[in-house]
Each structure stands twice: as C-alpha cells, then as structure tokens.
Amino acid sequence: MAKAASSTVVVPKYRKYLLVFYSSFAAYFVLLVVLYLNGYFSIEDDLGNKSDTMVDAAVMEKMEAGFAKLAASDSKSLLKKYLTKEVFDALKNKKTSFGSTLLDCVQSGFENHDSGVGIYAPDAEAYSVFSDLFDPIIEDYHKGFKKTDKHPAADFGDVASFGNVDPTGEFVVSTRVRCGRSMEGYPFNPCLTEAQYKEMEDKVSSTLSALEGELKGKFYPLTGMDKAVQQQLIDDHFLFKEGDRFLQAANACRFWPTGRGIYHNDNKTFLVWCNEEDHLRIISMQMGGDLGQVYRRLVTAVNDIEKRIPFSHHDRLGFLTFCPTNLGTTIRASVHIKVPKLAKDYAKLESIADKYNLQVRGTRGEHSEAEGGIYDISNKRRMGLTEYQAVKEMYDGISELIKIEKSL
C-alpha cells in the first residue's frame, strides 16, 4: 500500500530569509513613521532648513477659523489674494525648526482684514518652508520678482552721484534713508527668547559705541530709561513705540521693552533702532532735500557695523527681515514733502506715485495720517535691484512729483 504524500511544505532557505527581511523591514518602517510623527525626525527644505509636521490641535483650530473668516471677508490684502484653500491645506501642517507654523506667519492678517499685505516671517526659514505663500506675495509686491529670480549682489554705487532733490527748499521738509538688518544666527521677534533679546542688545550697544567721526554717539536702552532722556527722545521724534495692532498681532512685541534700545549720533542725523520690528533699523536723516549727504552717511554706517555684526543674507532673497515687503536691499529712501495741489486729489497723487514706483504714507509712516499736508513718500521697490538703483528710483520719482506740482 502506497504511503500518503506528506502535507509539509518545504520552503527554500532563500525564501525564509526574504520573509524575515520583509518582516523586519516592515517593522522598521512602522517604527520610523511613529518616530517621525512624534517629532523625532524632521524634513529638510531646499535651503537645508529642517521642519517637523506636528502642529498643535489648538493652533490648527485657530488657523482653520482664521482662514474661514478671512475667506468670507472683503479684505484686499495680498494674504487673502494668495492664501487659497489649496495653498492653505498644503501649508497648514508645516513647521520650521524654530517651531513656527503657518499661523505665526498669517495671524496678523487674520486679525486685521484691513492689512495691505497681512503676512510676516517669524524666522528666516519661514521664507522657504512656506514659500508657496511667500513667493507669490513677494512677486506681487516687488513688481514681478519671481521665485526663479535672484536678487543682485549688494552695490551702493557712487555715493557722490546724488544731489539735493529740492535745492530751493520749497517742497521737501526732510530726507531720510534707512535699511533693515537681521543679526545672523537669531530668529525674528516672535521666536526670540528674553535671554536672546538681552544678548542682542549687548552686542548692538557695544558695536555702536565703537563708531567714530560723525557717527559717534550714545546708546539708550528702553529698559529703565530716565524720564528726562525719554522726553528728549520723544521731542526729537526718535523714540519708537511698542508697535501697532498689526505688529502686536504678529507677536513682534514680546518681553517689551527688554532688549530694545535707540542709538543716535551727536548731531542727531544718524539713528539705530534695536529690536523694534527688525533686529536693526539703521537710519540716516536730516532737514532739507540733500539726498547725497544722507545716503553717504548711511552707506558709511552700514559698512562699519557689518564689520562687527554679521547680517542674515540669502543668495536669492538678499537681506532677510521680518516683513516680506522689506527684503533684498531693505532700502527705504524717503522724503517728507508738501505737495498741496496734488494732495487735493489723493487718488491722483497715489496714481502718479505708483507710476514711478513710489509709496505714499502719512507723516508718521505706515497707517498714519498726513499732518499739515505733509506726506512721507518713498521708493516702493526694494528687491531685484541694487541699493543704488532703489535710491535712484526715489530720487527720480520725487523730482517728477515736484515738476508736476509746479505745473498745476
């Protein structure tokens, strides 16, 4: 009688090894996923910056609610224009290595539907991690600076080439040129710790105190400021305030006034703000329309300070600061100017200014009113052109405005 065939399945050795390998690989993969979701691993963006994807549930809820309100509003901000549902869904789970979320970038625009832009960068990495939102806003504001474009190398040009934009003194009350700078190795205001604020103030104070010549002056910390000094700075219109509702909503005023301070030279024609909106606001100014003197002073100061404090700079975006409107050169050349005839038709004034890439503000800057018919008018473009070109746009534009005012 024949024996029944054995039911035992013989598995070749190599298949056993494959089964062990696949089982181990699957377990390892599951472990990696679990660790990744719990924040043990991060992803790198195209700039080499790392970010995880764990966004707190409360933050997500606030983000979703803010987006819904903005979408239903009649806001004309660039934030609303470019934060589509598709972009929102693609970015809402992302974070920078500093822990910044999309909400940190957009919460000012969520809370203030009358914002013109509505977005800030809580740290330098945000420009890359949330590039799907920042890039089109940058392109729109900076007149077509595309994500494939590269900001040119710094070039202040011939500082002696500018003269007085209003030699007779009939229209221009004062002239100012400023730039913003971020200190390399530090995040922006929303991510700074109290200890970092103090450390930065010490570095800035010691650096500025070493300036010589016409830049020589004194640093005044806001913390513990003497009342008499405070009043003098107010009288000189040097003292900056804690920040408007737009900056407050962006968490730009944490630990106030710790780490904040003001420096000015003896002649009161050179000023530096420490940790106001940006790490540094470097300002050159004087009465009248002599742009040449003002610009030369600024260039000298920036070059001297940069020898002692490394600035945050990116090959494509130029100098990095808190607001995407202030990238690239970060140069803002402005005048306080009286144009009473043009001012009677404000829409016309803005139309002409826009033609020459100029921005019209109130006497005390953004979100303020014109006092006594005096406007603050500056170059609008800061990106995709050199420092010299940015200042020349303002010089040429103001010259044209004065010609038009005279012709009316």
Q: Which residues are annotated as a binding site for ATP?
A: 174-178, 237, 281, 332-336, 361-366
Q: How far apart are CA 49 and CA 56, in angstroms?
A: 21
Query: How many CB atoms sit inside 10 A of residue 316's CB?
Result: 16
Give the Å distances, CA to CA, from 408 to 221, 340, 342, 343, 402: 48, 10, 8, 11, 10
Q: Which of 300, 325, 329, 330 is catalytic?
A: 325
Active site residue 323: yes
297 is catalytic: no
Active site residue 181: no
Q: Is residue 52 within 8 Å of residue 99, measured between CB atoms?
A: no
- Out of 254, 296, 316, 361, the active site residue is 361
The active-site residue out of 181, 323, 330, 387 is 323
Catalytic residue among 105, 125, 178, 276: 178
CB-CB neighbours of 371 under 10 Å: 11
* Peptide bond preceding 190 in cis form (omega within 30 of 0): no
Strand, helix or coil for residue 316: coil
Q: Which two structure tokens, joined as six digits, stand for 131? A: 């590039």
Cα 235 from chain centre: 28
Q: How far apart are CA 240 and CA 261, in angstroms?
A: 9
Beta bridge partners of 336: 174, 376
Catalytic residue among 44, 61, 366, 371: 366
325 is annotated as an active-site residue: yes
Alpha-carbon dihedral sign for residues 56, 135, 275, 188: positive
Adjacent-strand bridge partners of 30: none
In the annotated binding site, the residues are 174-178, 237, 281, 332-336, 361-366
Out of 181, 260, 297, 332, pick the active-site residue. Answer: 332
Integer CA distances (angstroms), 294 to 52, 135, 137, 288, 375, in order: 45, 32, 31, 10, 19
Interatomic CA distance for residues 248 and 244, integer angstroms: 6
The C-alpha atoms of residue 199 and residue 205 are separated, in whole angstroms, by 10
For the chain, the residue count is 408
Q: Which of 101, 181, 201, 281 is catalytic?
A: 281
Catalytic: 361? yes
Q: Is residue 308 among the annotated active site residues? A: no
How buried is 23 (Cβ within 10 angstroms: 0-12 exposed, 13-18 middle, 19+ buried)?
exposed
Q: Given 277, 387, 393, 405, which residue is catalytic? A: 277
CA 94 to CA 60: how far, in whole Å? 11
The answer to whether 337 and 374 are in contact (CB under 8 A) is yes
The catalytic residue positions are 178, 277, 281, 323, 325, 332, 361, 366
